[in-house]
Amino acid sequence: MKTLVTSVKRIRYLIFIEGLITLISGLSLGSIGGYYISYFMLFGNELLDGISMDLVFSWTGFAMGAAVLTGFVIIVSLLTIRFINRINVADVIRDRSTG
pLDDT by position in tens, the chain (length 99): 666 667 778 888 888 888 889 889 988 888 888 888 877 777 766 555 666 666 677 788 888 888 998 898 889 888 888 888 777 776 766 666 665
Q: Any idea where the domains of the chain sit in the sequence? A: 8-98
Quick one: pLDDT at residue 84? Answer: 80
3-state secondary structure of 51: coil
Task: Judge contact between 55 and 38, C-beta under 8 A.
Answer: yes
Quick one: pLDDT at residue 54? Answer: 67
Residue 71 has what DSSP assignment? Answer: H
Q: In whole angstroms, what is the distance from residue 84 CA to residue 43 CA?
A: 48
